[in-house]
Amino acid sequence: MWKEIRRLFPVHRNWVYLNNAGVCPPSQKVLEAVESFHRTHALHGWRKAQPLFREAGRKIKAILSRLLGCDPDWIALVHNTSEGMNIVAQGLDWKPGDVIVGLDREYPANVYPWWNLASSGVRYVRLSQSRTHRDVIALEAQVEAGARLVAVSAVDWCTGYVYDLRTLGETCRRKGAVLVVDGAQALGTVPLDLQGCGIEALAASAWKGLMGPVGLGIFVCSPGLLEKLSLRFVGTDTVVDSSNYLDYRMIPRAGASRFEFSTPNANDWIYLAASLELLEEIGFPEVRERLLALTSLLREEVSRKGYVVAGAPEDKYRSSIVSFRKEGTDARQLAAALAARNILVVERDGFVRVSPHIYNDEQDLERLLEEL
């Protein structure tokens, strides 16, 4: 099966592409779906094309709802992780002295929206990050001390460490704190049970594990939190019966789609729907097992070469990312040297970060290991 899947991704003909935690290249199925959509638009106009992208939106939400264990109405399609975080940050009714807690090596999308609330008297506390379970314990201590919101990543973007959100969520639920998660490095490759973990909001980019287009994001919001969020941006599609343009009624849609306040990028919806259909056809558990197998091989072999591998070895703490470094080796220079040999990895926080996906195979890893 994996050989057939590999053939669907043209990038492998030119690159050993191992930066899928950055941007994942499109498959042939995506190219065909997008071309078909635009051909329909070109030949028949918007009247025929519009139903296609609306149906794509329904497919996206249906597949994501099955993946995350939530209702499709919880899901909004936005532009990126930052937009989703800002929906929460700007939507809650903050009081001076409220505390938000996070970690100090987070991706900026999960930092600036909270830091921006300082003018409202909100204190944003960033804890020193160890990328171990000690981080969860430290976050729990802040919740016990009265923090109103916890903003944390499901998977650390530099090392791939998977956080124990279930334990953290139990503490947040017991103390009434809101748990907001950056799911960019988890969706599609690491299981996430929103309700089981007590996650009230999740924001993610679509162009990593979900293999979607750059510029499309996912925002997921529980019904309980939804009712607490003010609408800071509104437009035609915020309200019920939005196609009845002159019947002005400021009545928001019932679900998270109220945050899709105006005309979306139809191309991106077609693109993501095609990618998600492929992933669901393979099976998300099978995707997970395949990536664990590839990353297990990589972890073992780079360790033999004297590199220190970041993160914990247990499967529950592992994602599709393997990061490593060696004393005396500059990770940025090493990544550049590999790119010159058509092997794409990146440097993140002093580590060489490698992130395979379903079209990568053992030969890709062997090529990387040979060059190392």
Q: Which of 215, 179, 212, 197 is nearest to 82 (CA)?
A: 215
CA distance to 32, 85, 108, 324, 356, per residue, from 116 (Å): 42, 11, 12, 33, 34
Q: 2-18+284-371 and 43-279: same fold?
A: no
Tens of pLDDT, residue by residue over 208-255, are 999 999 999 999 999 999 999 999 999 999 999 988 989 999 999 999
Tens of pLDDT, residue by residue over 139-152, are 999 999 999 999 99
Here the tokens at position 276 are: 């998600």
State residue 175's pLDDT score: 98
Which CATH class for the 2-18+284-371 domain?
A: alpha beta
Tell me which of 3.40.50.720, 3.30.230.10, 3.40.640.10, 3.40.50.880 is the CATH number of domain 43-279. 3.40.640.10
Q: Where are the domains of the chain?
A: 2-18+284-371, 43-279
Tens of pLDDT, residue by residue over 132-184, are 999 999 999 999 999 999 999 999 999 999 999 999 999 999 999 999 999 99
Tens of pLDDT, residue by residue over 304-354, are 999 999 998 999 999 999 999 999 999 999 999 999 999 999 999 999 999
> What's the mean pLDDT in 117-130?
98
CA distance 67 to 188: 8
CA distance 188 to 91: 27
pTM score > 0.75 for this model?
yes
